[in-house]
A and B are shown apart, each in its own frame.
Chain A
Amino acid sequence: MRFGLLISFLLHIAVVGAAFLDLLPIWPRQNTIIEPYIPLELIAEAELDLMTSVPAAAPAPVEEEPEPEPDLPEEPVEEEPPAPVKEPEPEPDPAPVEPEPEPAPVVEDELEEPEPTPKPEPEKPEELDLAALSKLIDKERETEQQQQRQTPSQVTEEAETPREAVGAGDRLTASDEAKMRAAVERCWNASAIIGAPEPEKLVVVIEMELNRDGTLVSAPKVANSLQINLSGNRFWKVAEQAALRAVVSCAPYDFLPPDRYATWREFRLNFDPSQMAGF
């Protein structure tokens, strides 16, 4: 009897002890502790710019940050041949060359066009009453826009002929417009923008002028640049850079017919990412 009691007592202790031990290791015995992170010391952008002068040309770094929109000064900077290399030279070349082929004044071009086109122009008065002309242009633009909406983006050759006959160099033909849109859309890399919040607020308006050979007369301008800079919206700034990159990388627009130059000399492109985002 006593022996049994002792056994029972020992067993109880063992059970309780085991249970106790079992409860203890609720915490894992070894926790691998992650080493504390080694800090990285950041040198601010401005500071770095001071430390590291971009070759020769002092103005180069200065113009980067504060520039609100003066896209033009780029060329001069390039020429200053800051770099020890000669390569930059091909760059400035095209720019100065371009202006030459362009037959100077705007008005002349416009006047010039109607004459060589003997095709029947129903709506067009013989001589150039400016007011009437602009009215006409307005009207035609409207109808063209309406047609645009119905036209699929891939405009076929058939579409071109009748249009040509009617427009005769007053307005960009639907086919040219479609080609232009397709080209710019191909060049517009929007991958970084479409995930941005509120894409409908990121519209960038670019204005550019082309030479007869389809090259850019000068660096394209951002019409709403001031608004973009004042907004402080980084996504908008990025959208601006992407749009500029698109129109510059797409040049020359040599698929546009030189004989209708007056119709496509100046473009205003509205880059609107909202439809792509899907939100």
Chain B
Amino acid sequence: MKNLFVFIAIIITSLASANARVTIDITQGNVDPMPIAVPDIIGATEPMASLGRDITSVLIDDLNRSGLFKVIDQRAYIEKPASVNVRPTFANWRIINSQVLVVAEIEELPDGRIQVATRVWDIYSDEQLGAVAYKTPADNWRRAAHKVADFVYKTLTGEEGYFDTRVVFVYESGPKEKRVKRLMIMDQDGANPVPLTDGLNYQALTPRFSPTQQQITYMAMFDDRPGQVYLFNIETGEQEQLGTFRGMTFAPRFSPDGREVLMSVERGGNSDVFKMDLSTRRLTRLTDHPAIDVSPSMSPDGRRIAFTSDRGGSQQIYTMNADGSNQKRITFGEGRYQTPVWSPRGDLIAFTRQYKGRFYIGVIRTDGTGERLLTESYLDEGPTWSPNGRVLMFFRETPARRDGAGGTASLWSVDLTGRNLRKLRTPGDASDPAWSPLLP
């Protein structure tokens, strides 16, 4: 019986080879940005056409900045789409080597709002990959542009976009010795920067976004007493201190469900990791070790927590269960590992590594394998993930001259593949970025 199967198998294989089909493994593609065409958004009236052009420019900027797409110069287009509902002539877009075409149309609705309808076409299979439309008040057009960009991104990459998001960061001003640090929020593309705190009676550090609400947690540094962790609702402006401690509380971070805040609490020179339930304000100790345990970050499934500890001699990354049990070390490299941040996808942990006077932003699998360093400079620090877990934002400082002047701090982003390193536009010196979840 077994022989029969073998016999059949042999016959099948010989038949397969008889038709002389050649099998080739394709393992190395090009990683250039995908060339896509984005003609101006069509508008029937001049005001609509004008608004359409504004939206198009934000859309193109988003797509180009992702590093995954290269929008072909509009001057090369030989077809001008007349309506979003007309099937494009694919040959016209193939000639300019576009792989994908995004056609959109804007119209004014009777209630005064605008509607942006979009179709994404695959130029080589001649088929529509997706279609979507958004309605919103006209003055909300920037967000409409980001939403369309997110839709295109999701259609072409399979994962959620991150363009309709905001970034909270520490805006730094004044001379080095009397630095004023306050919180500021802006759109992910640098538009609409708005200060959140005035920085007069305390310095704000390490803001972190709630994954579920328009709320942040951060550490306030005072001149006369230990720094404390605060909650800040950015829609109402309400603030509150999280617990009262004699020692310092710092490095706060929300749990993925937004119901708890993990933080480090310092008591008598020793720091340990705690979590606070935001509804009951009950504080639970998670580590109890004479070494310095700091910077907790919870996995998206809420089961594990990554943190930094120097219990092994140098600062390294450890993970533990959400209740503090089963602590184990996952990094063993030279130098110091700091600020672990669990990816929203759950598969990687981002970190800052300090080694021989240089700083690196890197990622490592949650079991401690596959460490990869993505950036290197005089000082790179504070990674924060885009909500889709694809991009990391961090801040980079340049050295000051001997007289103390000249050092700058700025926000940068890098793809988790290490490509597409970009500097963000900020109103001035900026540090400690925190990426918001996708806006509702």
Contact = CB atoms under 8 A, between A and B. Distances in A.
B140 interface: yes
When A and B form their complex, which 5 residue pairs have the shortest distance between CB atoms, in order from nearest?
A190-B29, A87-B89, A31-B237, A234-B158, A188-B29
A84 B198 CA distance: 59
Nearest to B241: A26
Contact of B84 (A52, A192, A277): A52
Contacts of B418: 278
Contacts of B15: 134
A237 B154 CA distance: 12
A90 B135 CA distance: 38
A7 interface: no
Contacts of B33: 191
Interface of A: 22, 25-34, 36-45, 48-49, 51-55, 57, 60-61, 63-64, 67, 71, 74, 77-78, 82-85, 87-88, 90-91, 106, 110, 130-131, 133-135, 137-138, 141, 170-172, 177, 180-181, 184-197, 207, 219, 233-238, 241-246, 248-249, 262-279
B117 interface: yes
A54 B89 CA distance: 13
Given A57-B87, A189-B32, A245-B99, A278 B156 contact: no
A28 B22 contact: no
Contacts of B198: 28-30
Given A52-B85, A138-B14, A34 B234 contact: yes
B417 interface: yes
Interface string B180-197: 000001000000001111
Contact of B185 (A34, A84, A106): A34
A268 B24 contact: yes
B39 interface: no
Contacts of A78: 90, 126
Contact of B136 (A39, A90, A245): A39
Given A26-B202, A77-B126, A134-B17, 15 more contacts: A29-B200, A32-B196, A37-B143, A38-B137, A39-B440, A42-B132, A48-B133, A49-B131, A130-B18, A180-B24, A185-B27, A191-B29, A241-B125, A268-B23, A268-B24
A38 B89 CA distance: 36
13 contacts: A25-B200, A34-B235, A38-B136, A83-B86, A84-B86, A87-B89, A90-B91, A184-B26, A185-B27, A185-B29, A245-B122, A268-B24, A276-B29
A277 B140 CA distance: 38
A275 B94 CA distance: 29
Most chain A Cβ neighbours within 10 Å, of B14, B345, B415: B14
B19 A106 contact: yes
A64 B71 CA distance: 24
B125 A248 contact: yes
A69 B19 CA distance: 23
Most chain B Cβ neighbours within 10 Å, of A22, A45, A64, A243: A45
A196 B347 CA distance: 11
Contacts of B345: 197
B201 A45 contact: no
Nearest to B391: A195
B90 A33 contact: no
B76 interface: no
B239 to A, nearest CB: 6
Most chain B Cβ neighbours within 10 Å, of A40, A131, A194, A270: A40
A137 B200 contact: no
Contacts of B85: 52-55
Contacts of A219: 125
B19 A52 contact: no
B133 A37 contact: no
B14 A134 contact: yes
A126 B130 CA distance: 56
B379 interface: no
A191 B119 CA distance: 22
Contact of A38 (B23, B129, B140): B140
B17 A141 contact: yes
A40 B91 contact: no
